[in-house]
């Protein structure tokens, strides 16, 4: 499950968010061990952790300094 919250400030008129917050239910995501593991960690794993533990990840993206319709030639948006 992924929930996304959008926050708007000065660019609301253009529908452009100033911040996005993604909340992800991590336990449902399957990642390759080579991506998810810390390959430099020599410590043994703590197996006492519950597998069905509620695990959530949060990603926050802040957007600023939008440049809207300035210095872009309209030809860029024409189909070829």
Which residue range forms the structural domain that includes residue 4?
A: 1-31+54-80
Q: What is the pLDDT of residue 79?
A: 83
- 15 belongs to a structural domain: yes
Half-sphere exposure of 6 (CA within 13 A, CB side): 6
User: Model-level pTM?
Assistant: 0.57
- 74 belongs to a structural domain: yes
3-class secondary-structure state, position 71 = coil
- 48 belongs to a structural domain: no
Domain tally for the chain? 1
pLDDT digits (tens, 9 = 90+) for 7-53: 999 888 889 999 999 998 887 667 676 666 666 666 666 666 555 56
- 69 belongs to a structural domain: yes
- Evaluated on CA atoms 28, 33, 37, 42, the torsion sign reads positive
Among residues 8, 37, 38, 2, the alpha carbon closest in space to that of 20 is found at 8
- 65 belongs to a structural domain: yes
pLDDT band with cut points at 50, 70 and 90 for residue 5 = very high
- 23 belongs to a structural domain: yes
């Amino acid at each position: 499950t992924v929930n996304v919250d959008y926050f708007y400030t000065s660019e609301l008129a253009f529908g452009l968010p100033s911040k996005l917050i993604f909340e992800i239910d991590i336990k449902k995501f399957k990642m390759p061990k080579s991506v998810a593991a810390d390959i430099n960690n020599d410590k043994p794993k703590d197996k006492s952790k519950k597998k069905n533990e509620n695990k959530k990840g949060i990603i926050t993206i802040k957007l600023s300094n939008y440049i809207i319709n300035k210095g872009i030639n309209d030809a860029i948006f024409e189909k070829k």
